[in-house]
Structure 1
């Protein structure tokens, strides 16, 4: 598949050098995500979850009994990344994986009682993260909306 061509002319970077690291949106997003992961690492330690495991649990707390491909789609993950993660969650007793009775190719992921109970322990995480961000809730909501729009635009142009 040929790469999409970008316009030849670009507006000058606001501070001069368009190739300066601090002028790169990608680096601002990347370094922010590193900081966000550091905060999550501390918050998730008590739940004994990694960040990706937490995301899987969020999907299942929203809707239990989801097939693997749906989880992959929700989290923008490949099956090869998700499968080992699901195995670890299953070994911990938080989820169970069962082949679909209607289509053997599909694996349905469901919460165990322990996995459902973990939701109660995780309820405080969003407010703790909000406190770490030190931003008003309306600014966080606006930022989330902007990032979703950015992601959709990038996906459309990838």
Structure 2
């Protein structure tokens, strides 16, 4: 490697560019549901788990409460989620889906397949890429 500070020699740049590109692929599909990419991720977690605390959600999505709070507030205004303080501990906020939030799951079912087609790599390549990314993310913990 001649110049370690050259853009073409940076690991971070292609990862950054790929993340932007993938999110851009999602945008028109999510516009159909009237959700942003971060809201879509929240919905995915709640579709898997009926109820989550804000803390649990933050851990799963690698987001802090300062980022999650306004995001969840907007989702609540759109009547997708309900935020409720725990009766046992006022500091804990529990999240659950509204019927509208639950209904969006059916509309979102085609998104993973449509994204896969738009990215243009095989299922096998995608699984390899995902394993490498997860390995890097888990090393951070």
Instruction: Report the TM-score when normalising by structure 1.
Output: 0.86
CA distance in 1, matches of 2:121, 2:16: 19
Runs of 4+ in 1 over 3 A off after TM superposition: none
Report deviation, 1:26.
0.3
CA distance in 2, matches of 1:69, 1:151: 18
Residue 126 of structure 2 corresponds to 140
Is 1:71 matched with 2:57? yes
Tell me, what secondary structure is at the counterpart of 1:97? strand
Find the aligned partners of 1:83 and 1:101 in 2 and give their Cα distance: 19
Which of 27, 48, 51 pairs up with 1:62?
48
Residue aligning to 1:32? 18
User: Which residues in structure 2 correspond to 1:74-93 (within 5 Å)?
Assistant: 74-93=60-79
Larger Rg: 1
Q: 1:51 aligns with which of 37, 41, 44?
A: 37
Question: 1:152 Cα deviation (Å)?
Answer: 2.0
Where does structure 1 lack aligned partners over 5 or more consecutive residues?
1-12
How many residues are aligned here?
Answer: 141
Counterpart Cα distance in 2 of 1:150 and 1:78: 20
